Chains A and B, each alone.
Chain A
Amino acid sequence: MASVNKTSSAGTETVVPKMTLAKRMDRIQMHLRREWQLYVMLAPTIIWFVVFLYKPMYGLQIAFKDYSIFRGVADSPWVGFEHFANLFSNDQFIRAVKNTISISALNLLFGFPAPIILALMFNEVLNKTYRKTSQTIVYLPHFISSVIIAGIVVTAFSPTAGIVNTVLGWFGIDSIYFLTRPEWFRPIFIGTGIWQEAGFGSIVFLAAIAGVSPSLYESAVVDGASRWQMIWKITIPCIMPTILIMLIIRIGNIMEVSFELIILLYQPATYSTADVVNTFIYRQGLQSGQYDMAAAAGLFNAVVAFVLVMTANTLSRRFSRTSLW
């Protein structure tokens, strides 16, 4: 981006401090007369961002207020950090924070390696048609909505009708009502996530593998290396930068558990392992109308996420010298 900038706009910027105000206004006027179309094109987007994303940031002040619908955001009285104090003595909120971190950690442990392993395996498949067909199929669940995914999960894990219990029945195991059992929520949620996203996630790693120089493999063959050795000695080290960047992005997004799917799959019986910060906010705010407290929980979430993402970006800059943004 920087290099494109220099040619035409650098001139105006360096001269600015020496100009008088009048001269400067003149320049801006001339510039606008010539380039007004650019600003016409930009304006709708900027206005959209102000109205739909920045105005809510102004509304975030209700996290520090006793918000009343009738008084509105600006006129509600300030209460300082009261909502935050309440949140941190609220067992449900503490549980939601812990669940968010646990579910993300499990997702990292099982969900992160899955697409890498899949990409490495795709790379070893010799038959092109077989490989393409398989790829086409495993990418598909990414494009299916979470409501449908949840519908499939609910049907498959149903105590009487579901295929999972039917199969367990073949082995003489009694039917389990999986979706009401707290200990089963996370395996089902994370398994569903892998089923849905591992295939699509492998695209990035396959691209990285495609970028590995063939000469490395050729010389390995001369040395008599097996494919298994080549995976460990060539492919994985070569795609390590990609793996690291993707890992950093994942860590940056720890607070973003896909709560849509949780809302569709959890129920009061499984809140103890399933309720995350965003589902807590959804229930407290949108369902129970405690907007100010829920906004405070959201602000907490957003600040932690912001710090994580910024740290992740700094780290990835160090690793790859290309920032994520």
Chain B
Amino acid sequence: MMKSNLYSRGDKIFALAVSVLIGMFTVATLYPFIYIAAVSFSSGFAATAGKVVLTPIDATIEAYKYVLLDPQFWVSYRNTFIYTIGGTVMSLLFIIPGAYALSRPQLYGRRTWNLFIAFTMWFNAGLIPFFLNMRDLGLLDSMFGIILAFAVNAFNIILLRNFFEAIPQSFEEAARMDGANDFQVLWKVFVPLSKPAIATITLFCIVSRWNGFFWAMVLLQSEEKIPLQVFLRHTIATLSDDQEFTATLMDAAYSAETVTAAIIVCSIIPVLIVYPFIQKYFEKGILLGGVKE
């Protein structure tokens, strides 16, 4: 970026106009979150009548009481943590050693193995065969099934493999001199040197697990196994159809809208807490993944 004294008057006006546009887009991005937060703290009546614009109307925490007193909410919240942590650990257990092996020139049939993995990025059997396969494996309605079946993907392996390949040979040779075997080379040399790449992959795994919804909805039947996203989906679907719920609406301090908004707020909070710490990793990560092979 250049010094501003190189800018003519027209350029300064231009820069100002751009700043205003950026500001508008930023506000437009942020507004829906503020709106939802405002709805969640409003009374059911005010929300249903469409009175909420920017701040809570008839401020109340009734919607949060409704959500937080529902034991299913806590069960789902716990499950989401199990899927996120278990799934991410499982992913790393597969991806790190796998990527290391694929990055070694002495691996027999290395090109074939790499092609074998990359092919799955180009051709996918689709929803139905995947679902029937899960059923045949007995992994329907299984928490372990969810953790295992989505542990690996070709993109993450290739991303880390590329990073490993770029590590200079001399590092490995020095460790070999000291008598290190492959496991030790990986653990003591490659993993410490690849912290940014591993952090990026960890981040990708955490985000996709935290947000994962479609397959959890399809594969899980038991309420005690569903993650937060599926719980949210169920709640939105039932609240808007539930006659009894809407009937009591007039005197209730909460409504379908405020309860939905409250669940949304509760499930975004952990993302907002972690978000500032991960920003530098995803900016790097998306570029790591940009040019492959």
Contact = CB atoms under 8 A, between A and B. Distances in A.
Given A55-B133, A260-B213, A125 B10 contact: no
A302 B275 contact: no
B7 interface: yes
B26 A286 contact: no
Contacts of B113: 42, 46
B47 interface: yes
A164 B186 CA distance: 55
Contacts of B95: 45
Interface string A111-129: 0000000100111111100
Nearest to B27: A137
Contacts, number: 295
A294 B130 CA distance: 12
Interface in B195-234: 207, 210-214, 218, 229-230, 232-233
Interface in B151-174: 151-152, 157-158, 165
Contacts of B229: 145, 147-148
Contacts of A1: 114, 165, 293
B100 A137 contact: no
A115 to B, nearest CB: 11
A55 B137 CA distance: 11
A37 interface: yes
Interface in A276-325: 278, 281-282, 285-286, 291, 294-295, 298-299, 301-302, 305-306, 309-310, 322-325
Contacts of B35: 152, 155-156, 163
A281 B126 CA distance: 9
Contacts of A155: 35-36, 39, 257, 260-261
Interface in B107-161: 107-108, 110-111, 113-114, 116-118, 120-133, 136-137, 148-149, 151-152, 157-158
B104 A203 contact: no
A52 B25 CA distance: 41
A11 B159 CA distance: 28
B18 interface: yes
Interface residues of B, number: 112
Nearest to A323: B293
Given A124-B18, A148-B232, A148-B264, A285 B213 contact: no
Kindly state the interface size class of chain A when it binds its partner: 35 or more
Interface in A169-214: 169, 195, 198-200, 203-204, 207, 214
Contacts of A227: 7, 11, 14-15
B28 A195 contact: yes
A102 B26 CA distance: 29
B242 interface: no
A1 B271 CA distance: 37
Contacts of B94: 44-45, 48
28 contacts: A5-B110, A41-B98, A41-B182, A42-B113, A52-B149, A121-B22, A125-B15, A126-B15, A127-B19, A137-B30, A138-B29, A143-B211, A143-B271, A145-B212, A151-B236, A155-B39, A155-B261, A156-B32, A160-B48, A161-B257, A163-B52, A166-B50, A281-B128, A285-B127, A286-B128, A291-B132, A298-B129, A324-B292
Interface of A: 1, 4-5, 7-9, 28, 31, 35, 37-39, 41-42, 44-46, 48-49, 51-57, 59-60, 62, 72-73, 118, 121-127, 130-131, 133-134, 136-141, 143-148, 150-152, 154-156, 158, 160-163, 165-166, 169, 195, 198-200, 203-204, 207, 214, 217-218, 221, 226-228, 260, 263-264, 278, 281-282, 285-286, 291, 294-295, 298-299, 301-302, 305-306, 309-310, 322-325
Given A49-B152, A214-B2, 9 more contacts: A5-B111, A37-B181, A42-B98, A72-B136, A145-B212, A150-B236, A152-B35, A195-B29, A281-B127
